[in-house]
Every structure is written in C-alpha cells, then in structure tokens.
Amino acid sequence: MTSRMSKRACLSIVLAAGEGTRMRASRPKVLHAIAGRSLIEHVIEALRTIDGPIAVVVGPNQQPLRDAVQAIVPRATIFEQSERRGTAHAVLAARAAFADQRSDLLVAFADTPLITAATLRKLRDALTGDVVVAVLGFRAADPSGYGRLILEGGRLVAIREEKDATEIERKIDLCNAGLMALRGDVALQILDEIGDDNAKREFYLTDAVAVARGLKGDIAVVEAGEDDVRGVNTQMQLAEASDILQDRLRRAAMEAGVSMVAPQTVFLSADTKFGRDVVIEPHVVCGPGVVIGNGVTIRSFCHLEGARVDDDATVGPFARLRPGARIGADVRIGNFVEVKEAEVERGARINHLTYIGDARVGAGANVGAGTITCNFDGENKHRTDIGKDAFIGSNAALVAPVRIGDGAYVASGSVITEDVPDGALALGRARQMVKQGWVPRWLTARGKKPS
C-alpha cells in the first residue's frame, strides 16, 4: 500500500435510505426535528465545514426527503438506493460520485444528528500516512444494538454487528458510531469486496475494516463522546437527542452572556441568535428563525418563531411572536399579545390582549388592550397601517385594509373601516344613551320596591 501523496478532496455521503420503522410515524425518520431542524439538516450543517461535495442516499418513494435535502443544500447530489441491502450497499448507490477515485469518502448517517463539525474533521484528518479506513468509535454506557470494535494488540481488526457477535464480544463497550472515512484510491475496491455473509444478509459498511486489513492498509480509530454519536431510531431516542442538544444550546447562550433564570425550561433552536445583556425568563420557546438584540428581556411563557426583537425591547409574559414579527427597539409587547407579519416600530407599546397581523405599528404608537387588526376577510389577507404616535383605544377592531394616520386617535370600542387622517379622532361605535330614573320606574312596574 503506498502512502498518500497529497491531500485529496473529500466527498461526504449521507445515508438516509433507512425506513425508520421504529419511529412508528408517517413522516420519514430523518425529517423529524430537534431544536427546530430536521435530523438530516443537523448532519448536513456539520458537514458544511468539510470541504467538498455532498451526496445523499435516499430510498425509493422518498420525495419529501429529496425535497427537504434540496432545500437545505441545493448543490447536493441525491442518489437512490432502490433496495435496502445494508450500509455498504447504500454507499455504493452513490458510486457514480466517487468512481473516479479522486476524492476520499466521509460517510455519515442521517440519523446521528448530534455529530459535531470538529468530530467529522478529526475523522477525515485521520486518513493520513498509510491509513485507508478511519472508524469513529465511542464508549457506550449501554452498548446493546451497536456494532463492537474488535481490537487485537490495540489495533482494530474488525467491527462485529450485535447480531453476529459472540457472548464475549458483546461485552465490549467500545462501539462503532457508524461514521467512517475511506481513502479515495482504494474506497471502491474495498466497498466492492464487502459481502453479505452475516445474520441479516446485508452488505455492512463495517466490514470495510476486515477488507482493508486484508489489503494490508492501516486502520485508524477516532474516539468520540457518546453524546456526539447518539443514533436516533425511536421517538424516545429522538427526545433524548433533543435534550442533549437543548442543553448544548442553552450552555452556549449562557456562555455568550445570556441570563436564564431556569435554563432547563427554555427551548431554543439551532439558529436562535442573541445579542448582549439578554434576559430570558422561565418557560420560553424559540422556534426557528429567532433573532434577539441587545438588552432584550423575554418574560415568562413566550413563544417566538421567525421573529426579530430589537435592542431593549421587552416581550411578554405570555406573548406570541409569529413569523414575520419585527419588534423594534424599546418596544413593549405585553401579555396575551400575538404579532404576525408585522413591523412594530421603535418605542411602540402593545401591552395587553391584542392581535396585530399583516400590519405596521408606527414609532411611539400606543395600542390599547383588546385591539384586533381584522386582517382576514374570509378569503384574503389585508394590511393595517398605524401611524407614528397614534393612539388606539381599547377594544378597537381595525378592519383591514385600513390606515390610521400619524398621531390620530381611535376611540375605545370602535370598529374602524375607513382610513383615519393624521391627527384626527375616529369614533366608530354606537353613541351612549342615558335614561334618567329608569331603574326605579322599571322596578315599580314589576311590583318591586325601589330602594
């Protein structure tokens, strides 16, 4: 075996053709999400740091998965493994992408979402000197179900799948994480030589080790932490992976200066962004696409998704920011306020029980309790535009499309269907009637004594 002359390119292959039957769900396993991202997206994000193309192997009839992959990395090449005949067979489904033998292969599983870029790089970089195969191993607290790394004199000689292992081999706790790097000039030869002589009659990628040994190539083992390589096969394991990832995200946020009163009750997405001096009170959920500026406080029981909150704003308690909510600097969003697809400009106040959708709320405006932008007419959505320093009295219904001018006032309880000019007062409610002495007359008529 000759040693490598120069650093090759690296092709990453993500295996996702499994059926994921143990999830007992109609959605493909690797499209289940943790921290606001699908399992396969986590893996692909980690692979982005590896220089080189990405190939994804999917099964037949997996259009939703193909679409999802293409949305994540448009440049990924998708291959179909028409029959599910094992992990080596799956890698060979992408054969056309590495048949020229010019690039090394880095094989990752789409169901191993906690893998980090650093671990992937370590595995890829292990292909130096005469190493032709690098295996990612870990010490499992409970090794059952995993392939075991069989060492002889400190050298890896084989990987044994649980089903094929002896009693003694099953006691080994050094397990195969599933990920593997193969040197480009021999990868195809190794993969083609793998057979299906095992309990499941599948072509196991793990047999690359025994084959490489036959070719007198060196094999490297890179050890990872168990949490990095946890596979997700069941709903329970999905929840466990989610737990670990949430813990990582909270820690990263707190290390960057975010204050969390009860971190274990705060749920973040992989892409949640925080500025400086942010306080997150208990029980807050950040879905995908949340960007929080400096000095912001998110009070208890808020749900945010696709929302931006600018410097020194306060949100909640009990507020819901939906996609397209853009909360300006110094804004106050109070309890039971829902904002969707709306720009709330600097210093505006929306403190209680309000729905603002498809709207702009101008700087310094005050939106009273119970205000509703009536944005939907049963067929279409329409916009509401509230000018700067406008005052919307409590319990107003603003029937869109409608514009409230700068500095205009809307009286409480109004139903506003026509534009209100700058500085005007609009009243859109029934005039109050007062009937003097009505109560005693009514009581007397019913034979009761007025007090």
The residues of the shown chain that bind ligand UD1, judged by CB under 6 A, are 15-18, 57, 81, 84-87, 89-90, 109-111, 146-147, 159, 161, 175-178, 204-206, 231, 233
Token couple for 152: 């002889």
DSSP sequence for 108-166: EETT-TT--HHHHHHHHHT--TTEEEEEEEEE-SS-TTSPEEEEETTEEEEEE-GGG--
Q: Closest separation between CB of residue 111 and ligand UD1, Å? A: 4
Identify the CA nearest to 253 among candidates 231, 278, 283, 219.
278
Per the document, the length of the chain is: 451
Q: What are phi and psi of 98, to 5 degrees?
A: -130, 10
Pick 234 or 417: Cβ nearer ligand UD1 = 234
H helix and E strand count, the chain: 10, 33
Q: Closest separation between CB of residue 234 and Ca ion, Å? A: 10
Q: Closest separation between CB of residue 73 and ligand UD1, Å? A: 17
Pick 231 or 407: Cβ nearer Ca ion = 231
Which residue's C-beta sits nearest to Ca ion? 231
416/322 Cα distance (integer angstroms): 24
Pick 53 or 231: Cβ nearer Ca ion = 231
**Residue 87 binds which of ligand UD1, Ca ion, none (CB < 5-8 A, kind-dependent):** ligand UD1
Q: Which of 283, 303, 352, 382 is catalytic?
A: 352
Q: Closest separation between CB of residue 43 and ligand UD1, Å? A: 9
Stretch touching Ca ion by CB under 5 A, among 156-164, 225-233, 313-321, 349-357: 225-233
Identify the CA nearest to 278 among candidates 264, 266, 270.
266
Pick 107 or 309: Cβ nearer ligand UD1 = 107
Q: What are phi and psi of 368, to 5 degrees?
A: -75, 170
Q: Closest separation between CB of residue 117 and ligand UD1, Å? A: 19
* CB contact set of 10 (below 8 Å; sequence gap of 6+): 50, 51, 52, 103, 104, 105, 106, 124
By CB under 5 A, name the one of 231, 295, 306, 413 that touches Ca ion.
Answer: 231
Q: Closest separation between CB of residue 39 and Ca ion, Å? A: 11
352 given a catalytic annotation: yes
CB 269, CB 287: distance < 8 Å: yes
84/18 Cα distance (integer angstroms): 7
Stretch touching Ca ion by CB under 5 A, among 70-78, 224-232, 251-259, 387-395: 224-232
Stretch touching Ca ion by CB under 5 A, among 88-96, 168-176, 231-239, 405-413: 231-239
CB 288, CB 305: distance < 8 Å: yes
**Residue 15 binds which of Ca ion, ligand UD1, none (CB < 5-8 A, kind-dependent):** ligand UD1
Query: Site residues for Ca ion, window 394-413 (CB under 5 A)?
Result: none
Pick 85 or 352: Cβ nearer Ca ion = 85
DSSP sequence for 179-198: EEEE-HHHHHHHHHH----S
Which residue's C-beta sits nearest to ligand UD1? 147
**Residue 147 binds which of Ca ion, ligand UD1, none (CB < 5-8 A, kind-dependent):** ligand UD1
**Residue 146 binds which of ligand UD1, Ca ion, none (CB < 5-8 A, kind-dependent):** ligand UD1
Pick 84 or 95: Cβ nearer ligand UD1 = 84
Q: Closest separation between CB of residue 232 and ligand UD1, Å? A: 9
150/451 Cα distance (integer angstroms): 96
420/409 Cα distance (integer angstroms): 8
Pick 162 or 406: Cβ nearer ligand UD1 = 162
Identify the CA nearest to 371 among candidates 380, 346, 344, 347.
344
**Residue 41 binds which of Ca ion, ligand UD1, none (CB < 5-8 A, kind-dependent):** none
**Residues recognised as catalytic:** 352
By CB under 5 A, name the binding residues for Ca ion. 231
